[in-house]
Chains A and B, each alone.
Chain A
Amino acid sequence: MLPSTLYPVGKGGPKSRYIGGTLVFDSAIRYPGVSHEARSRVTIAQVNAGAVLLAAIPGLRYRLVDASIMAIGGNAAAVTTVDILGTLSTARKLVAFAQAALTRSAVLRAGDANSAVLADGASFVENDANTAITIGKTGSSVTTATHFDVVLKFALVAA
């Protein structure tokens, strides 16, 4: 059960209505066990500095379901890998996308060639509760590409 002391923002249920026969909610809703998806367009400056893709949620753990990335505006250069980072006791690279495959407009999926995941399925094991999922880089700063589109599929698991 989620602790009752962690509601700093808002109260009550989401507002919903039928639109063309489909029930639509006015806010994002997170259910444990449901595959959620987040698409983020981040600048190379954000990648070089490190940026949060999924903010930490007290009492809940992120579990990566899938990830893909696409270089925008040019091929990624200079960098060694662009990384999706999580925390399980210590920081860890859930997915390391190698520069060689970060060609403009190409979809690079987790676990494909030039896209390393952790040994023995550890990339898809839930991370620590109340920790964020971030993007960063290994090696030199990214150049040439202007942005990356990152699509994360993830689930939430109660701590």
Chain B
Amino acid sequence: MDAKGYPVGRGAVKPKYINGTLVFDAGPLIPGVTHTLRNRATAAEVNAGKVLLAAIPGFKYRIVDCKMIAIGGAAATATSVDILGTRAGSAVRPIVNGVAGLTQSAVLRAGAANSTVLADGASFTALDANTSVSVTKQSAGSALDTATHIDVLLDFTIEAA
């Protein structure tokens, strides 16, 4: 990793034993380890596009799994709610969740009915280094309506570029 890629803070995280379990006080990103993010995005944020994982110089994100849950009502009007990334310099949508599957409180898993993944497993291969991962509505579709929020539960790992 490029030493110029450390814009915030220095030093190691602090581990401590708590009831026999070694616990760290911060969440480091470790290549090969599955990390998990839960983010509640408002409908407006989905419509505008919201960054879930900020770009990290020298590292690529790889999506491991994803679940979405519509909050406050069933998703409507929009075509889909998507996970958006970048591969080979172009935008890709590893997960496209049709609003038909985004009924209130239901868990919609990547690859299940109404959830489309890319051909040949491409949704689960690494994205470009130093690029972010976002949630957004289908660009050609109408704005998300009725649902007030979308809970995104994203499992991911990072790989050195």
Give the B-binding residues of A (Cβ under 8 A).
1-2, 4, 6-11, 13-14, 27-35, 55-60, 63, 65-66, 109-112, 117-121, 124-125, 153, 155-156, 158
User: Interface on chain B toward A: helix, strand, loop, or mixed SS?
Assistant: strand
Is A65's CB under 8 angstroms from B36's CB? yes
List B residues at the A interface (Cβ < 8 Å).
14-28, 30, 33-38, 40, 65, 67, 69, 71-72, 104-107, 109, 151, 153, 155
The listed residue (B17, B33, B38, B105) touching A34 by CB distance below 8 A is: B33
Once the chains bind, are A124 and B18 in contact (CB under 8 Å)? Answer: no
Q: List 28 A-B contacts (CB under 8 A).
A: A1-B25, A2-B25, A7-B17, A10-B20, A14-B15, A30-B21, A32-B25, A32-B26, A32-B27, A33-B35, A35-B34, A56-B19, A57-B18, A57-B19, A58-B18, A65-B153, A66-B65, A111-B67, A111-B107, A112-B107, A117-B107, A119-B105, A120-B105, A121-B69, A121-B151, A124-B69, A124-B151, A153-B36
CB B57 to nearest CB in A, in angstroms, measures: 19
Contact of A2 (CB < 8 Å), options: B23, B37, B38: B23
For the complex, would chain A's binding face be called helix, strand, loop or mixed by DSSP majority? loop
Which listed residue, A31, A121, A125, A155, touches B105 by the CB 8 Å rule?
A: A121
The 3 closest A-B pairs by CB, nearest first: A111-B107, A33-B27, A35-B36
Residues of A within 8 A of B155 (CB): 35, 65
B-side contacts of A27, CB under 8 Å: 22
The answer to whether B21 and A57 touch across the interface, beta carbons within 8 angstroms, is yes
